[in-house]
Amino acid sequence: MKPYIAILSSRFRTLLQYRAAAIAGVGTQLFFGLVRMMIFDAFYRSTTADQPLSHSETVTYIWLGQAFILLTLFGVDTDVALMIRNGNVAYEMTRPVDLYKMWFARALSGRAAPMSMRVVPILVVAGIFFGLTPPASFTAAALFHVSIVGGLLLGASMVTILTISMLWTISGEGISRLAPALVFIFSGIAVPLPFFPDWLQPLIAVLPFRGLMDTPFRVYLGHLAGTDALLAIAHQVLWLLALCMSGKWMLSIGIRRLVVQGG
């Protein structure tokens, strides 16, 4: 595992250099968080019906979303994308490492590093000024941590698959536009998933995208507790395994193609 951890940590340290981007990111997320808060204020003021989340829960859900927004924003790994485009990807094979694990490590650090710089300031500001509440219980907090890690890994496995798919599409343009749209809707970042109509819920429950955000956030709120929380985390793990396995398989085919047709 050591080489992959080294790749991860070196990439992580590199990305930590981008402080200006982090500050700008925090500002942007605070602004959009306020906008979304106002929209839901208006919504709760105009309804008397029972809602799947209380007003205060929704506020917390929104601010968690703003803080952890990088769990959802999807794009392929630009460095690897460039290598695939100019054919240099073949040279990656002269290193004594497994390509899938290396790309996965890159994808993971590419998400975790910028996120780690944004999370704390946003949570602090939202906690003091905008009504973010603490986790429902100690257990909820512990499980939240587990499922955030799950969400990170799940996201990295999705990014890795998108990157690998570029071995066929080369440009990656189409797929890196399509994927964020799906994620935007089905992860809960646009509208918290409990608000979606009942007929859509089975689909949402099966798709992997809820594992990115909705699962950890509802665990945090205590909405998913006990067996439900464990089942939701199991859903994350199952999808993670499935995506990693299919990613590895896709990569082996893609590389064979590359190798057969010339670099």
Q: Which residues bind other proteins (CB under 8 A)?
A: 2-3, 5-7, 10, 14, 88, 90-91, 93-98, 259-263
In the complex, the smallest distance separating the C-beta of residue 2 from other proteins, rounded to whole angstroms, is 6
In the complex, the smallest distance separating the C-beta of residue 251 from other proteins, rounded to whole angstroms, is 13
Write down the H helix ranges in the chain.
2-15, 19-45, 55-67, 78-86, 99-129, 138-169, 173-186, 201-206, 214-221, 227-261
> Of 206 and 259, which has the nearer Cβ to other proteins?
259
In the complex, the smallest distance separating the C-beta of residue 254 from other proteins, rounded to whole angstroms, is 14
88, 97, 162, 83: CA torsion to nearest 10: -10
In the complex, the smallest distance separating the C-beta of residue 259 from other proteins, rounded to whole angstroms, is 5
> Of 78 and 246, which has the nearer Cβ to other proteins?
78
Distance CA 37, CA 41 (A): 6
- Rg of the chain on CA atoms, in Å: 19
In the complex, the smallest distance separating the C-beta of residue 258 from other proteins, rounded to whole angstroms, is 9
Q: Which residues contact residue 89 at a Cβ distance below 8 angstroms, ignoring those fewer than 6 apart?
A: 80, 83, 167, 258, 263
> Of 87 and 226, which has the nearer Cβ to other proteins?
87
> Of 4 and 220, which has the nearer Cβ to other proteins?
4
> Of 28 and 88, which has the nearer Cβ to other proteins?
88
| SS3 at position 207 | coil
In the complex, the smallest distance separating the C-beta of residue 9 from other proteins, rounded to whole angstroms, is 9
> Of 8 and 243, which has the nearer Cβ to other proteins?
8
Look up residue 8 and give its amino acid. L
Distance CA 92, CA 90 (A): 5
User: Helix 19-45 to helix 55-67 angle, to the nearest 10 degrees?
Assistant: 160
